[in-house]
Structure 1
Amino acid sequence: MKIALVQMCSGIDPAENASRLRTHIAEAAAGGAEMVFTPEMSGLLDRDRSRAAAVIQSEQDDDVLSTVRAEAIKCRVWVQLGSLAIKTADNSDGKWFNRSYLINPEGEITARYDKIHLFDVDLTPDESLRESSAYAGGQSAVVAPIPNAVLGLSICYDLRFSSLYDALTNAGADILSIPAAFTVPTGEAHWEILLRARAIEAGAFVVAAAQSGRHEDGRATYGHSMVIDPWGEILLDMGEQTGLGFCDLDLRKIEQVRSRIPAVANRTWFEPPVKTS
């Protein structure tokens, strides 16, 4: 399977981001990709939540989503739209979902995943992020069929929680999608090692399309969109430049690796530890 990853520096205008996505999807299809992966917050990256609230839409009204669906039809490709900020159904609590989409070549949404683990951290004494103040967390892990494989969905901070990937591979996932907008300090310290660990533990391909660069809202993201094979080898590292990266996935490698190291088959569930005095 030939795939393409979009590495973006999303801004505060959804229309501009939609235009970039349309161009990248067309270029990916022209380059022979069967499936395109985009980063977390492909449609809008804005930490000014008052400003963002003016442009965040419901799923039915979101122009970025409709643009990507139309381009998937036009180009006859699958798109794993890393995530969009989406209004909840009633929006009574004023919170949004950080929602990932799987879109087939007919433009149909075949899977949705709402980010479970929200990024509430103190990065430095002067920089704190509280994703849960604006977003509602998801409740369910999601896997979905794609041609010749099963895709497990996750988003960014989920990467740090291996139990989610255990659940995805137990449900049949053999490709793990991890779109992200990693900060520079955490990216430099942990991005590559965590991606490789998830691939090795699962005996699965990891596809991680990322945001990169200095954004309009002032934040900086790490980049380095990656593809990791089931043995933990890096097949693609896009560095810091925005644009497209292509990679061929030999899906036979999944069974080869899982036969050599049958960690998924050998998982054993056990009672929680008992604390002794």
Structure 2
Amino acid sequence: MDPNTKTIFPFAVFFIYLSFPIILHAHSHGEAGHKMLYTYKQKTDNGPAEWGKINPDWKVCNTGKIQSPIDLTNERVSLIHDQAWKREYKPAPAVIINRGHDIMASWKEDAGKMTIHQTDYKLVQCHWHSPSEHTINGTSYDLELHMVHTSAEGKTAVIGVLYKLGEPDEFLTKLLNGIKEVKKNEINVGLVDPRDIRFHTKIYRYIGSLTAPPCTEGVIWNIVKRVNTVSMEQIAALKEAVDDGFETNARPVQDRHGRTVWFYDQNA
């Protein structure tokens, strides 16, 4: 990590991306429904390497140059001593939804927001991938949580939290019964507090894409450096709930194509 790598150019690129809205093509905030014919199994006709050929609207999955996930390597980041965001979350009614390819907790009312460079991003849902999609210095983890936020202009920002096997995760513990019962119907889980998702404020930030079709680009990714813990029972519940074949639902790491990754070290 080079502490002197702090230039105007990376920020210029970042603000250019902030200026363009993201057009989301499918339901559930951009990801295609599980009934669409794609899988995460590699070296198959509908696996990740073929997503861009399945549907014309998904071609960017193969042709895009800022796809996600990526490997986050400490030696190749720009160190920023500044506040990465401002977060204001609050409890709100939520439901558990089985999208087939993953399990999602969706807030039905205002659950708060995060603010990045004076743009507000409303928290709308979170979902899980196992194993992790992003890697750090080549290391993959057991689970990754994505907190999906959208702005009034249609831009998307995601917080990614990584987990390794250990003590149960407090947030998943409160949702576990709903996850086990969800099947094909929405399960109302009452008030859900996003502040129960614990993470620190040292983050990697870069511009990427959705990690499932249609792989829309322009997503602001914020991956928390500190790895949390999750129990085997919690991971098993998520795997059991999804459709057969999606027990492993992580897209392989994509080419970085020279993109800048910023590392924010703050005490906010």
Q: TM-score, normalised by structure 1?
A: 0.26
Larger RCO (CA under 8 A, 6+ residues apart): 2
Q: Where is the helix percentage greater, Structure 1 or Structure 2?
A: 1
